[in-house]
Amino acid sequence: MMVALVALAAFASGIVYCSFFEWTLHKYLMHRPLLGFRYAFRAHAQTHHRIFEYEETYSLQRDEDKTLVAMAWWNAPVIIAANSPVWFGAGMIAGLGHFTAYFWVGAVGAACSMVFYYALYESLHWCMHVPGHRWFSNSRWFKFLDDHHRMHHKRPMSNLNVVLPLADLILRTKAPGLPPVSRMATEAREAAGVS
């Protein structure tokens, strides 16, 4: 029972951490060229935001732009590996500073939360920009996240979270949602089969 609680605590703490990591990465690497590192800035701010704007072009318009929705394949292992000190720290907390079974449970729980969060980020982001008839498309939580992200495309330094807007709320970068007219216009386009 204790092992399950440690794993759950590590996973839940990891999800909260990921919200702040996503926010930081998005703000300081994807929307600014930092210390000469321009890859993330070019790929996201200069390319993704240019193709996928706020209103009509928020959703995919041309099939050849599909490659610009998700991050490059190698970003996942790099981002997850870059956070390995966090896994180690979660393990040290869980193991009370010792390499016990709890260390491994905490480390694996934190690592799993990061893999899960990244997969959810890519999946949700894809569904936002490439609309389709999915079982969750009309759910309140997806509409909320989609509106939240759409507003990011209007105001790029706000609404930096895609999965869990906790960091946006705490760090005060949450912009107001879309007016109902924009949401209705989007739903009408989708219902008509227009991307």
pLDDT tens per residue, range 156-184: 999 999 999 999 999 999 997 655 545 55
Look at residues 18, 1, 2 and name the one whose alpha carbon lies nearest to residue 113. Answer: 18
- Tokens read off for 113: 């939360």
pLDDT surpasses 60 at 189: no
- What is the Cα–Cα distance from 139 to 31, expressed in whole angstroms? 30
* 188: confidence class by pLDDT, cuts 50, 70, 90: low
- Total of domains in the chain: 1
Q: pTM of the predicted model, to two decimals?
A: 0.86
Specify the DSSP element, H or E, that contains 188.
helix 180-191
Residue 179: exposed, middle, or buried by beta-carbon count in 10 A (0-12, 13-18, 19+)? exposed
* 195: confidence class by pLDDT, cuts 50, 70, 90: very low
How confident is the model at residue 171, as a pLDDT? 96
Query: Do residues 132 and 32 make contact, with C-beta atoms less than 8 angstroms apart?
Result: no
How confident is the model at residue 106, as a pLDDT? 86
Query: What count of other Cβ atoms lies within 10 Å of the Cβ of residue 164?
Result: 19
What are the counts of helices (DSSP H) followed by strands (DSSP E) for the chain?
Answer: 9, 0
Q: For 156, what's the count of Cα atoms within 13 Å in the CB-facing half-sphere? A: 17
Query: In this structure, what DSSP letter does residue 137 have?
Result: T
Residue ranges making up the domain that contains 90:
2-49+58-191
How confident is the model at residue 114, as a pLDDT? 95
Residue with tokens 């930092």: 34
Residue 43: exposed, middle, or buried by beta-carbon count in 10 A (0-12, 13-18, 19+)? middle
123 compared with 103, residue with greater pLDDT? 123
- What is the Cα–Cα distance from 189 to 153, expressed in whole angstroms? 18
pLDDT in tens, 39-82: 999 999 999 999 999 888 999 999 999 999 999 999 999 999 99
pLDDT surpasses 50 at 5: yes
| Highest mean pLDDT, choosing among 75-89, 117-131, 163-177, 180-194 | 117-131
- What is the Cα–Cα distance from 105 to 87, expressed in whole angstroms? 10
